[in-house]
Structure 1
Amino acid sequence: MQLPTLLGAGLVLLGIFYLGFLSIKIRFPSVILYILFGIVLADLLLHNEILHFSSEVGIVLLFFVLGLEFSISRLGGIAKKIWSTGLLDVMLSLGVTMGICLIMQVDLFTSFLIGAVAYATSSSITAKLLDDKSRMANMETEFILALLIFEDIIAPILVAVLIGISSSGSFEPISAVYLVLKILGLAVGAVVLSKTVFRRFDTFMDKFEDEDFKIVLLIGIALTYGGLAVYLGLSEVLGAFLAGMILAESGKIERVEHAVNPIRDLLLPTFFIYFGTTIDFGDGVQMPVLLTIVLIWTMAAKVMTGYFGGLMYGLPKRVAFRGGLSICARGEFSVVIASIAVGTAKVFAGIYIVLAAFIGVLLFEFAPKLTNKIFGKPVTKKRNLKVPGS
């Protein structure tokens, strides 16, 4: 049985209110509650058009706001430092996981698919937790966001390869080249727009006193560039981030954040609820031994990526370890990749995603405490203040 679209939307908003309130009371991550809410109501909400649309808008606005923090010069500096960590991430999370599946006598295509599902950290869950836990200003946050953007570039390529193989049994290298060119074109377009059309955007914004017009304009920019990315067969997350980066060049990003944040905060929980509705448990746990091994390894792989990659990035050991514990949740790209699977592999992927999201959120939650347990509490340096005249 399916509810009318409007009734479903109303119940979702009431559920968001209650679960948000409950998460504060019991001190439990709201993201997990939203995902579980979606799983419970999957049969009623799976084809709810308003929920689907609002979830896309919510995730676009999240990364639009994140992109505001990264000017082109800053992003260029980060890219030079993150590529080695990105390759380490691909090798550990995708390559080794694929190898484990092959050793367990899983066929080559399914092994590749499971490795791809296990590869990408959930950008939406991680970014939401960084914001909720007031960790945006932490030393490791720039490193985490840089790695997430690297993964958001690699993940669409994996999706294209898997779709190509599943539909035709093979994948032409020219398709991968074409995909990379589209990513570069979208990024170059963002740079050109930031240096031309949006160069004096802050001055243009000063002409409008009505906040409603500003909200419409800003959300329109975010959705347009995110939608352009989807039209090109890329991720709306990447397009939205680039849209934010375009406006970052204009300066005075506080007014943009002030206008967009309320809409983002309203719609973002719907993404996690919709994510929950897409999880199909089928006939129960499939390949439990392999699931356990893959789950343990992929959690460890992300921690190692964060730790060793963080050290290469220039972070202190305790900060790098805390960063590694904060990037374990899987989410939206894993769901997209899992949708390509069929039969046992699809059920396996669905169960893995739920467990990895849950464990990842808990590791993020306790990352500071676990870091203090291993490395000890950070020592606050005392300053010797000299009194004038002493």
Structure 2
Amino acid sequence: MLSDFPTLLVAGLVLLGIFYLGFLSLKINFPSVILYILFGVLLADYLSHNEILHFVSEIGIVLLFFILGLEFSMKRLGAIAKKIWSSGLLDVALSLGVSTLIALGFGMSLFNAFLVGGVAYATSSSITAKLLDDKSRMANKETEFMLAVLIFEDLVAPIIIAVLIGMSAGGGEFAAIDLIFILAKVMLLIGLAILFGKTIFKRFEVFIEKIDDEDFKFALLIGIAVSFGGLALLLDLSEVLGAFLAGMMLAEIGKIERVEHAVIPVRDLLLPTFFLSFGTSIELGAGFPMPLLLVTLLIWSILAKVLVGIIGGRWYGLSKRVSLRAGLSLCARGEFSVVIATVATGTAQILSGIYIIAAAFIGMLLFDMAPKITNKVYGKPKRKKKDLRVPTSKDEKQIY
């Protein structure tokens, strides 16, 4: 029994398991994230209530969103927000709204139906961002649109979580004043990030260049990310939202690669534990409850994201080809879905867990196949041929 082993030994074995699965994923060309999740499912009986694993995984996901936030200065985020709001609202209507109605149609209560809709709503930012990097698609035309959709979801998902927690505490009821209060806290957190970015961290680049000892630099930067994530938790919001805003604060400095260079190695070490921890929260021993709802929800939620890409991408200014590729790449579910699923109990919790694993796996496959599917629908893109022929005297006469 792992519970009888010293904590240090368990931590070492888990890290060795993560290394082996990461190495295996490279050998068999299979997404490492899925292997980490399945590893967690296998260890669920031993690590499902391990507080150390949960804490370490929380820091890993915080650092991921901190790094992501570094890519979006206030100016860039404002420009993206003007272009993405319509696509973001379409995403809410299709992924959250219609999924909730489907669950209601299968006889679920309003609370459980809204919870299932929330689980089906948000694309996994961590899985998508990792796949974009692994597949060398960060420079693609659709990447900015995809990240903008993810950011919109990252702002909406914490509100969904807070509403669900409020409904759960109130026996499934939630007053309008509670929603207003939640929105006010989100705006307060965003306002603090903007204020700190324009004041305290305005000369942060000069300050960080004076730090010669890398150890102190790690402590400072990770401390900022974790502290702002903790502040979000203090306000009953998502630590992921806080971490993203912390990254935005530092995105205003000139050379963000200094910050990334210090934080990325720690993120890469801790992030796999998040997916492992997620796997330990899934209980598959109770079977597959409501299989018809599960299949219907999977089909619709994937179709909804594809439609968001096709329609929203066109609104964003992308071509039909690029819009389809974006939609096919937005189907994986992950961290926010897991957080929302923890609010559930009984059948809804088991259903949500199975859905998340299936949607994460299908989403990764579609991400990998997106370029091929796009080429089959629209044909392979034609490369423009350049005329490298040396002009003859006949050609010169025709010109004149």
Same fold (TM over 0.5): yes
Residue 95 (1) aligns with residue 97 (2): yes
RMSD: 1.8
Who is 1:336 aligned against? Answer: 339
Alignment deviations for residues 78-132 of structure 1 (CA, whole Å, 9 cap, x no partner): 1111111111111111111122222233332222221111111111111121222
Deviation at 1:384, TM superposition (A): 4.9
Pairing 1:360–2:367 present: no
In 1, Cα distance between equivalents of 2:241 and 2:335: 13
Per the TM alignment, residue 310 of structure 1 is displaced from its structure 2 partner at its CA by 0.9
Partner of 1:271: 274
Partner-residue secondary structure (3-state), 2:330: coil
Of residues 370, 380, 383, the one that matches 2:383 is: 380
- Per-residue CA deviation, residues 2-38 of structure 1 (Å, 9 max, x unaligned), is 2442222111110111011100100000010000000
Q: Is the CA contact (8 Å cut-off) linking 1:116 and 1:158 kept in structure 2?
A: yes
- Which residue of the other structure, out of 17, 21, 24, is the alignment partner of 2:23? 21
Within-5 A mapping of 1:63-142: 63-142=65-144
Structure 1 runs of 4+ off > 3 angstroms? 382-388
CA deviation digits over 1:215-243, x for unaligned, max 9? 22111111111111111111111111111
Alignment pair present for 1:232 and 2:235: yes
Q: Deviations over 1:141-196 (max 9, x none)?
A: 11111111111221122222222222223111111111111111111111111111
Identity in percent = 67
2-structure distance, mates of 1:282, 1:179: 36
Deviations 1:294-321 (A, max 9, x none): 1111111111112211111111111111
Report the equivalent of 2:309.
Answer: 306
Q: Give the letter for the 1:88 counterpart.
A: L
Of the three residues 246, 254, 258, the one matched with 1:255 is: 258
Gap change, CA 1:384 and 1:58, over 3 Å in 2: farther
User: Letter of the aligned partner of 1:364 in structure 2?
Assistant: F
Larger mean Cα displacement after TM superposition, 378-387 or 336-345: 378-387
Quote the residue 1:326 is aligned against: 329
Query: Which moved further from structure 2: 276-285 or 104-113?
Result: 104-113
C-alpha separation between the residues in 1 aligned to 2:383 and 2:262? 37
Segment of structure 1 superposing worse, 373-382 or 294-303:
373-382
For residue 6 of structure 1, what is the aligned residue in structure 2?
8
Instruction: For 2:31, give the aligned amino acid.
Output: P
Quote the Cα distance in structure 2 between the aligned partners of 1:106 and 1:43.
29
Write the deviation string for residues 45-67 of structure 1: whole angstroms up to 9, x where unpaired: 12223321221111111111111
Residue of structure 2 aligned with 1:182, choices 182, 185, 193: 185
Counterpart-to-counterpart distance in 1, 2:215 and 2:390: 53
Question: What TM-score do the two structures reach when normalised by structure 1?
Answer: 0.96
- Corresponding residue for residue 46 of structure 2: 44
Kept in 2, the 8 Å contact 1:149–1:238? The answer is: no
Q: Give the aligned residue type for 2:36.
A: Y
Q: Is the 8 A contact 2:162 2:237 kept in 1?
A: no
Asked if 1:61 corresponds to 2:77, the answer is no
Match of residue 296 from structure 2: 293
Task: Name stretches of at least 5 consecutive residues in structure 1 with no aligned partner.
Answer: none
Contact 1:124–1:331 (Cα < 8 Å) also in 2 = yes
Q: Partners of 1:46 and 1:244 in 2: how far apart?
A: 30
* 1:215 paired to 2:207: no
* 1:329–1:361 CA contact under 8 A, matched in 2: yes
Per-residue deviation, 1:323: 1.0
Deviation, structure 1 residue 257: 1.1
Question: Between Structure 1 and Structure 2, how many residues are aligned?
Answer: 390
Give the aligned partner of residue 162 of structure 1: 164
Alpha-carbon separation, structure 2, partners of 1:109 and 1:351: 19
CA–CA distance in structure 1, aligned partners of residues 47 and 81 of structure 2: 40
Q: What letter is aligned with 2:41?
A: I
Shift of 1:385: 6.5
Query: Are positions 1:144 and 2:146 aligned together?
Result: yes
Instruction: Give the structure with higher Rg (CA).
Output: 2
CA contact (8 A) 1:8 1:45 kept: no
